[in-house]
Amino acid sequence: MDLFFLARRFVAGVDVESAIRVVRGLNENGLHATLDLLGENVRDRGQAERAVEAYATLLDRIATAGIDSDISVKLTQLGLDISEHFCEENMRRLLSRAAERRNFVWIDMEGSAYTQRTLDLFFHLFRTHPNVGVAIQAYLYRSEEDVRRLADVGARVRVCKGAYKEPKTIAYRRMRDIRRNFLRLAEILFERGSEPAIATHDEQLIEAVQRLARERGITPDRFEFQMLYGIRPRLQERLVRQGYRVRIYVPFGTHWFPYFYRRLRERKENVWFVLKNLFEWSRA
């Protein structure tokens, strides 16, 4: 049984052309996009180099297709587990290609074992490549200090709750604590940051961020909401109608299962979606 038909709610397809079509449809509805070629924890140099080439080609296709999309990468896909120097060189190649195409590159944050290494590499890259931003996970205790450091240098930050299972020694577990820290990070970014990205589908958080922005006199053009492809599309469209900039994270590629699994762990409604479709498939 091929389970990819279940992942299609969250994954745009296995090839570039499928992803381009999805992004074009999003753009037509007033939504911006971030394309992510799925893959992580690469330990083979050839595989990492092929990922770099695929991303470089993707940047070219975004430009020639005339769609509104930047890209997002995982450093372990580009060889961080092989060598930090190797990964840095790969990132510099991509950032240079993105600059030629007047595009932007986000660095996804992975599990806590990579947090410091990711930020160290980010700060090094940002000195010469301002077209790079980084994600910060609100459930980590360390994130407020990290956000302050990033704001100090004028970096763009995507703040999200966090999707990896982390020990309570380093991460908040209760949702009220995660939400409180998320809002604290948003407040810092509104005060000192550069075009922050607020990445959440949590309506309670979204409404709180909207209130915070109004109180601080932050207009909708000075930040954006970011959400995942296939999750809360009506909420995405409603925010656009309200005048907010909304960017959709659109993953694609053959290495879809780890991403799909994390989406199932995040929300019960995603699990019910899969079970419902499995039941319908079994009756067909």
Which residues are annotated as catalytic? 108, 158
202 neighbors 179 (Cβ within 8 angstroms): yes
Report the residue count for the chain: 284
**Neighbouring C-beta atoms of residue 161, cutoff 10 Å:** 19
Q: Residue-wise over 221-251: b if at least 16 C-beta within 10 A, else e? A: eebbbbbbbbbbeebbeebbeeebbbbbbbb
Rounded to a whole number of angstroms, the CA Rg of the chain reads 18
258 neighbors 266 (Cβ within 8 angstroms): no
